[in-house]
Amino acid sequence: MSTPLGKRYDDVTSQINTGDTAWILVSSALVFIMAPGVGYFYSGMARSKNAVSLVFLCMIAMAVVSVQWMIWGFSLALSDTATNPFIGNLTYGLLLNVGDKPHTNAPTIPASVYAIFQCMFAALTPALALGGAAERVRILPTIVFCFVWSTIVYDPIAYWSWAPKGWLNTMGSLDYAGGTPVHISSGFAALAFSIVLGKRHGYGQEKFEPHNYLNIILGTSLLWFGWFGFNGGSGVASNGRAGLAFTVTHIAACMGGLSWSLAAYFRNGRKFSSFHFCSGAVSGLVAITPASGFVTPWAALVYGAVAGVACHFAVDFKEKFRFDDALDVFAVHGIGGLIGNLLTGIFASKAVAALNGTSISGGWIDHHWKQLGYQLAASCAGAAWSFVVSALILIIFNYIPGLHLRIHEEGEISGTDMAEMGEHGYKYDTMDRTINERGGSPSITGLEEGNGFPTINAAFTDH
């Protein structure tokens, strides 16, 4: 039976292909860029007093999980010598036995290249989840949490989905680039974060709004750019199927941005918003992730349209059910990942998979009706494992001295930047300049605390 990524298990003696190797190295670098992309995206959505800590948390998650990946993460998540269906062994612990010899999942590139490519996926996932705890989480316990969470949440789900003996893989679920291991797991972990940590101080009384739309646009641009490697590299080869994955990624993002923007336009006073467009683009990227190596460009339009509208309305869940998912991680990644998985059960195409010689039964468009059931099973398993285990980790941490994750109230009010790091994202100072023009003197006040933007007070006085 072939596998979701077109991994040719029977061809482990393939020669190393330099073109494939070069493309996966480039793709690894592209996925790395997504970590600061998430940071800037989140920092723009938050209040200015929390901007630096959010970017920092995304970068430190990259560092912590990369170390965990080297110690045992790669082996637990993607061991090709393990025989059980749930978790890998320690064959590749400390990245021993990882070198020029190909991994079973990637027979045309060195295992070392495959390991670093997959490392970027693992490191990005907890960074996504941290958005559910934005503006109220301590940094030191979060570092420990990222290590533990990657070991007992991400690694098992990745093994189920992608390892040769993983139970979702052998069952027949299709996940090209991480709908379940990355997006559903991070979205439902963010939901657990928001429930266990509780609401932010002032929730329901203060209006929490994005403080910097330019950061949101910058973060989205970095994410969009990195996603070309995220999806385009997941076939671990440089070929036509990679090119198609690249193409549908872009189309879904465009359609997601347009559909979310239009839905919001008619619900919010007929005004367009860069924030809405960026959120929609990310939702389209999330939805197309599990399908990117299985669907045609026209299907990508459906993914983007459905995800953009559905995720937009899913944001309302936090108001209806009264949980404080600060940065809408559950709506965009949890719901978006679920939509992408289910649509793959419908639109997965045998012809697209066959571009690199992979044989699948396809989805509903190929009259393979059971595929939707497989996709639903994978989605439910990933969501349940991530939510329940994440909540248990957070609850247990609260009973361990020094590891409670919720910041104290005074620190939350002053902002996590100063309370946890002693740093400002913006320099708050006031400068007065007198410009004598036609008898007037405008007073220009610099950045005012709370919004991160300069305010100009032009008080003209006659002389």
Mean pLDDT throughout 282-296? Answer: 98
In angstroms, the CA 106 to CA 80 distance is 11
* H helix runs in 398-446, sequence order: 409-414, 416
User: Per-residue pLDDT tens for 86-114?
Assistant: 999 999 999 999 989 999 999 999 999 99
What values do phi and psi take at 351, rounded to 5?
-65, -40
Whole-structure pTM value: 0.90
Copy the structure tokens of residue 279: 């959120």
Cβ atoms of residues 207 and 406 within 8 Å: no
Q: Kindly report the average pLDDT of the chain as a whole number.
A: 90
Mean pLDDT throughout 168-180? Answer: 97
Query: Looking at the predicted structure, is the pLDDT value of residue 447 above 90?
Result: no
pLDDT band at 204 (very low <50, low <70, confident <90, very high): confident
Copy the structure tokens of residue 357: 């010689």
Identify the pLDDT of residue 5: 52
Identify the pLDDT of residue 14: 53
How long is the chain?
463
DSSP-based three-state secondary structure for 457:
strand
Identify the pLDDT of residue 454: 40
pLDDT band at 256 (very low <50, low <70, confident <90, very high): very high
In angstroms, the CA 375 to CA 341 distance is 6
Enumerate residues 6+ apart whose C-beta is below 8 A from 98: 74, 92, 111, 112, 115
Enumerate residues 6+ apart whose C-beta is below 8 A from 357: 6, 8
> What percent of the chain clears pLDDT 70, i.e. is strictly above it?
89
Enumerate residues 6+ apart whose C-beta is below 8 A from 233: 23, 24, 26, 27, 28, 30, 31, 117, 242
Query: Looking at the predicted structure, is the pLDDT value of residue 453 above 90?
Result: no
Cβ atoms of residues 134 and 197 within 8 Å: no
User: Per-residue pLDDT tens for 365-384?
Assistant: 999 999 999 999 999 999 99
User: Per-residue pLDDT tens for 12-26?
Assistant: 445 899 999 999 999
Identify the pLDDT of residue 59: 97
CA distance from start to end of the chain:
87
Identify the pLDDT of residue 434: 37
b/e sequence 149-161, b meaning 16+ C-beta within 10 Å? bbbebbbbbbbbb
Cβ atoms of residues 108 and 15 within 8 Å: yes
Query: Looking at the predicted structure, is the pLDDT value of residue 462 above 70?
Result: no
CA 154 from chain centre, in angstroms, equals 13
- Position of tokens 């940590």? 197
Identify the pLDDT of residue 452: 43
